[in-house]
Structure 1
Amino acid sequence: MTLFFAALLFGIVFCLSPGAVLAETLRRGLNGGFRPALLVQFGSLIGDAVWALIGLTGLALLLGHETLRLPLTLSSAAYLAWLGVQSLRDARRVGVVAGAGGEQNAGAFASGAMLSLSNPKNIVYWGALGGAMAGLVEGVPTLRDSLVFFAGFMMASVLCCFFCAALVDWLRRNASPRWHRVSHALCGVVLLLLAGLALRGI
């Protein structure tokens, strides 16, 4: 149970930390509401699960190799920059795109999955977290230990999906159009900064 709750805590911190997925959730949710925000979050679960399995099985060392890291970083930076431009565009069109739920639903799941899968920082995070798990058990972690840790992390991830989507939907319903514009602009700047930081790490 200690291992499970530790994984639960790590998962909450991981999912609620500011980053590209949270910015994209906010961007989609402010335009389309709860459903597109939730779809982005659900899409990110694919990446979360993949990186968790990689980290827990020690494959993070393999993916840390330059030949794999470089193209992953470049594709991630390009996608982040594209989303940043989209968000800045949305900031100018708040009155036009508001309520365009169908458009926001389209591609929301794929967007969340792409952001999560292409984030090179997850390699480092899960490489470190795999080591942290080893410190929580006696001796070498067993398959059962890894499964318990994975279950705790994924449970936290699913709960955070609904929390984030509900929070963004509440903001959409209760915030002024001016706040929406500012939020979209900030999301765009954050996404572009993340793209720049990704390239800087090459």
Structure 2
Amino acid sequence: MSLYFAYVMIGLAIAMPVGAITVEMTKQGLKNGFMHGWAVGLGGMTIDLALIIALYLGVAQFLSLSYIQLPLWLIGAAFLFVLAFDSIKNADKDIALAGEKANKSFLSTYRNGLLVAVSPGNLVFWISVFGAVLADSYSGKGTHQFLIVALGILSGILLHDIGLLTIVSLSRKVMNRTMIKWTSIIAGVLLFGFGCYFIYEFIHDLKAFI
């Protein structure tokens, strides 16, 4: 149990820094409410869970190869640029104030979470976190420990998402359409910045690879 709670804290700590997922969650939470913000978080956690399963099946070495990660930087950047453009272009659209029905579907915001979470940074994180337990993953004890670590980290991320979106939902009650519009524009700029960072990492890794 102590191992579980230790990794819950690690999951919380990892989710705390502002990243692309946090930005998209906040934007959707303000524009369409708690459930739509959480849909983004669930999309991100779906990718996390898929990576956990992939790591358990032994693909960590494959994912850590530089020529595998290189194109993923570009793919991640492309997704972020698309979301950034959409966030800025449609900043004044699909805004549902507190008490109003959201115009955007739950599935579309969930898809955004999936797109944002597809990044080499996410892959590297899961490879590094689970590296210590992968060696014993096929023994009974190792498998049990692996599952506890995975559940702990996912629980920590989930607690962070719920806490963040609770704050966002409370803030949304006192915000008008103009304030939410500018929040969406700022979110778009931040997502564009993350996309530029991915391009920088791609160029940096490409030079090292060559």
TM-score, normalised with respect to structure 2? 0.80
Please provide the CA RMSD for this pair.
2.3
1-10 or 175-184, which deviates more? 175-184
- Please name the residue that 1:194 is paired with: 194
Q: 1:11: which partner in 2? A: 11
Higher helix share: 1
Uncovered stretches (5+) of structure 2, i.e. residues with no partner: 135-140, 203-210
The amino acid of 1:168's aligned partner reads V
2:59 counterpart letter in structure 1: L
The residue aligned with 2:113 is 112
Matched, 1:49 2:46: no
| Residue type of the alignment partner of 2:95 | A
Shift of 1:55: 4.9
| Structure 2 residue aligned with 1:77 | 77
148-157 or 77-86: bigger deviation: 148-157
Q: Percent identity?
A: 22
Where does residue 155 of structure 2 map in the other structure? 155
Go from structure 1 to structure 2 and tell me whether the alpha carbon gap of 1:125 and 1:66 turns closer, same or farther (over 3 Å shift). Answer: same
Q: Distance in 1 between the 2:17 and 2:132 partners?
A: 18
Letter in 2 for 1:105: F
SS at match of 1:17: coil
SS across alignment from 1:199? helix
Asked if structure 1 preserves the Cα contact closer than 8 Å seen for 2:94 and 2:103, the reply is: no
Matched, 1:97 2:97: no
Q: Give the letter aligned to residue 111 of structure 1.
A: N
Please give the TM-score of this superposition, normalised by the length of structure 1: 0.83
Unaligned runs of 5+ in 1: 135-140
Alpha-carbon distance, 1:175 to partner: 2.8
SS at 2:173 equivalent: helix
* 1:124 to 1:192, Cα distance in 2 relative to 1, 3 A: same
Deviations, residues 27-66 of structure 1 (Å, cap 9, x unaligned): 2122111121111111111012123344566633320213
Tell me: CA distance 1:122–1:5, structure 2 relative to 1, closer, same or farther (3 Å). same
